[in-house]
C-alpha cells in the first residue's frame, strides 16, 4: 500500500503533464488556427497585437517548439489573456477561485453530513418507510439536472417564499469583507462582523444545498451498505459481549469501520461537485470559476475555458490524491503492510 501511495504521488506530475498536453493539443486545433485560440476575432486585424502574441507563444516556430513554449508559459502561470475581460486568465481565475472553493466546500459539508445521516438512519431502520423514502430523496438529488433544480429552488425559496436572498455572494450594495481566505463567511467571522456573516451564509445556503443534494445519494448509499457490512462483523459481537449498548457499538465500532470506504468516495464526490458547481454558479450568478467558464464558453473565450479546465483538472487530481492518502491514514491495516 505504501508503495502504491508513492506510485500515486509520483504519478500526479505525469498526469498533470498529460492534462497540459491535452490542453495544448486543443489550443492548436481551434478553428484550424492556433492564433484564433489566443487572439479574439475583432483584434485579428491589429497587426501589433497579433505579432506580440505570435512572439510570446512562438506561433511562427514548428510544433515541438510551440509545445515547449506553451509549457514554459504555463509553468510561469501564463494561460493567455481572456477575450472577455482582457486580463490575464490566471489573474481572473485566482480572483474567482475562492468563491468556487467556498461553494464546493459548503456543498461537500452539506452532502457528506446529510448523506452520512441518511445512510446511518437507513442502515438502522433498513427496509422501513424511512429507508425507502431516504433512498428516493437521494436518487432524486443525483438525477435532477442541477441547472433546472437550482432554477426551481431559486424561484420557490427566493421569489415565492422569500426565505433566501437572490443570486450572488452578497447583496448588491454590500462591500466584500477584507480577508485572507477569500471565503466570505470565514472572512466575515474573522473580522468579527456578525451581520455580514449571516448575509454571506444566507447567500451561500441555497446553492450549497442544491449542489450538495446531488452527492447525498453517493454518500448515503455507501454509508448504508458499509455500515450494514460492519454491523455483521465479529468485532461487533465482541463489543456487545463487553456490554456495549447499541449506540456505543454503532459509533465506536461500526461507524469507524464504515467510514473508511466513505473516504474513498470523497474524491469522486469532489469531481461531481466541480462539474455541478459549473452549472450551479451559472444559475446563482456565483462569481467563481464555474460561471467564468460558462460565460467564456458562450462567447468562445478559448484562453479562459482552457485555463479553467487546467485548474479544474489539477484540483481534481489533488483531491483524489488527498483521498487516497486519507484512506491509508485512516486504515491502520494498510499503514505497515507493504
Partner 1 sequence: MSAVETLRPASPSRARRAWTFVRRLPLTGQIGILILLFWAVTLLTVQFWPLVDPLMMAGRRLQPPSADHWLGTDALGRDVLSRTLHGSTYTIPVALMVVVSAVVIGSALGAAAGYLGGWTDAVIMRAADVTLSFPPILLAMTVAATLGPGLPNAGLAMVIVWWPIYARLMRAQVLEVRTREHVEAAIAGGAGRGRVLVVHILPLCWTPTLINATMDFGQVALLAASLSFIGLGAVPPSPEWGSMISEGAAKFYSWWIAFGPGMAILSVVLATAFLGDGLRDVLDRRGPK
Partner 2 sequence: MSAAPLLEIRDLRAAFPGPHGPVEAVRGIDLMLDAGEVLGVVGESGSGKSVAMMALLQLLPPSAIVSGSARFKGRELVGMPRGEIRQILGQEIGCIFQDPLSAFNPVLTIGDQILEAIRLHDRKISTQDAKRRVLDLLASVSIPQPDRRVDQYPHEFSGGMRQRAMIAMALANNPSLLIADEPTTALDVTVQAQILDLLRQLAAERGIGMVLITHDLGVVAGMARDIAVMYGGRVVETGTADDIFYDTCHPYTRGLIAAMPRLEKITEKLVSIEGTPPSIFDRPAGCSFAPRCKLALPDCRATDPSLRPVHRTSVACLRAEEIVAGTQGAVRAEFEKGAL
Please choose, from the candidates 70, 45, 46, 76, the residue with its C-alpha nearest in 3D space to the C-alpha of residue 56: 70
283 binding partner 1? (CB under 8 A): yes
- Contact partners, residue 149, CB within 8 Å, separation at least 6: 210, 213
Could you tell which of partner 1, partner 2, none binds residue 240, using a CB distance below 5 to 8 A set by kind?
A: partner 2
Give the footprint of partner 1 on residues 144-173 (CB under 8 A): 144-145, 147-149, 151-152, 154-155, 159
Could you tell me which stretch among 64-72, 91-99, 229-237, 310-318 binds partner 2 (CB under 8 A)? 229-237
C-alpha cell at 14: 505525469
Could you tell me which stretch among 23-31, 32-40, 63-71, 255-263 binds partner 2 (CB under 8 A)? 255-263
User: 3-30 in b/e burial notation, b at 16+ Cβ within 10 A?
Assistant: eebeeeeeeeeeebeebbeebbeebbee
| Residue 157 CB-density burial (10 A; 0-12 exposed, 13-18 middle, 19+ buried) | middle
CB of 118: closest distance to partner 2 in angstroms? 22
Could you tell me which stretch among 15-23, 39-47, 68-76, 257-265 binds partner 1 (CB under 8 A)? 15-23
271 binding partner 1? (CB under 8 A): yes
Could you tell which of partner 2, partner 1, none binds residue 29, using a CB distance below 5 to 8 A set by kind?
A: partner 1
- Contact partners, residue 117, CB within 8 Å, separation at least 6: none
Is 181 in contact with 98 (CB distance < 8 Å)? yes
Q: Applying CB under 8 A, which of residues 31, 72, 87, 256 lies at the interface with partner 2?
A: 256
115 binding partner 1? (CB under 8 A): no
d(CA 197, CA 261): 35
Closest to partner 2 by CB, 175 or 337:
337
Instruction: Give how many residues touch partner 2 by CB under 8 A.
Output: 25
Q: In the beta sheet, which residues pair with residue 88?
A: 81
User: What sign does the CA torsion over 286, 263, 328, 6 have?
Assistant: negative
Cα angle 273, 76, 295 (rounded to 5 degrees) comes to 40
Closest to partner 1 by CB, 258 or 274:
274
Instruction: Give how many residues touch partner 1 by CB under 8 A.
Output: 48
What are the respective helix, strand and coil percentages of the chain, to the nearest 5? 80, 0, 20
Could you tell me which stretch among 2-10, 123-131, 251-259, 268-276 binds partner 1 (CB under 8 A)? 268-276
232 binding partner 1? (CB under 8 A): no
CB of 122: closest distance to partner 2 in angstroms? 17
User: Which residues of the chain form contacts with partner 1 (CB under 8 A)?
Assistant: 15-16, 18-19, 21-23, 26, 29-31, 37, 139-140, 142-145, 147-149, 151-152, 154-155, 159, 225, 271, 274-275, 278-279, 282-283, 293-294, 297-298, 300, 302, 305-306, 308-309, 312-313, 316-317
Amino acid at each position: 500500500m505504501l508503495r502504491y501511495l508513492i506510485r500515486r504521488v509520483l504519478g500526479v506530475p505525469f498526469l498533470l503533464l498529460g492534462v497540459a498536453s491535452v490542453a495544448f493539443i486543443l489550443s492548436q486545433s481551434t478553428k484550424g488556427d492556433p492564433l484564433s485560440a489566443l487572439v479574439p476575432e475583432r483584434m485579428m486585424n491589429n497587426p501589433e497585437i497579433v505579432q506580440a502574441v505570435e512572439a510570446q507563444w512562438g506561433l511562427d516556430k514548428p510544433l515541438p517548439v510551440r509545445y515547449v513554449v506553451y509549457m514554459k508559459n504555463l509553468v510561469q502561470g501564463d494561460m493567455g489573456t481572456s477575450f472577455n475581460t482582457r486580463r490575464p486568465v490566471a489573474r481572473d481565475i485566482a480572483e474567482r477561485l475562492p468563491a468556487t472553493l467556498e461553494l464546493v466546500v459548503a456543498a461537500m459539508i452539506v452532502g457528506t453530513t446529510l448523506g452520512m445521516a441518511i445512510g446511518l438512519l437507513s442502515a438502522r431502520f433498513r427496509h422501513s418507510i424511512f429507508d425507502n423514502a431516504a433512498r428516493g430523496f437521494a436518487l432524486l438529488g443525483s438525477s435532477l439536472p442541477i441547472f433546472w433544480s437550482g432554477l426551481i429552488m431559486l424561484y420557490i425559496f427566493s421569489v415565492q417564499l422569500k426565505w433566501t436572498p437572490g443570486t450572488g455572494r452578497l447583496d448588491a450594495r454590500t462591500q466584500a469583507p477584507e480577508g485572507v481566505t477569500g471565503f466570505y463567511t470565514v472572512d466575515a467571522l474573522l473580522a468579527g462582523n456578525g451581520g455580514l456573516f449571516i448575509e454571506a451564509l444566507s447567500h451561500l445556503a441555497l446553492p450549497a444545498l442544491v449542489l450538495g443534494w446531488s452527492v447525498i445519494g453517493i454518500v448515503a448509499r455507501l454509508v448504508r451498505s458499509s455500515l450494514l457490512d460492519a454491523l455483521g462483523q465479529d468485532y461487533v459481537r465482541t463489543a456487545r459481549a463487553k456490554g456495549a449498548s447499541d449506540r456505543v457499538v454503532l459509533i465506536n465500532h461500526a461507524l469507524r469501520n464504515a467510514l473508511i470506504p466513505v473516504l474513498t468516495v470523497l474524491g469522486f464526490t469532489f469531481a461531481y461537485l466541480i462539474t455541478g458547481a459549473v452549472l450551479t454558479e451559472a444559475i446563482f450568478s456565483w462569481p467563481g470559476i464555474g460561471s467564468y467558464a460558462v460565460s467564456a464558453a458562450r462567447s468562445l473565450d478559448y484562453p479562459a475555458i482552457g485555463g479553467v479546465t487546467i485548474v479544474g483538472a489539477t484540483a481534481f487530481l489533488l483531491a483524489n490524491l488527498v483521498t487516497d492518502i486519507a484512506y491509508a491514514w485512516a486504515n491502520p491495516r494498510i499503514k505497515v503492510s507493504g
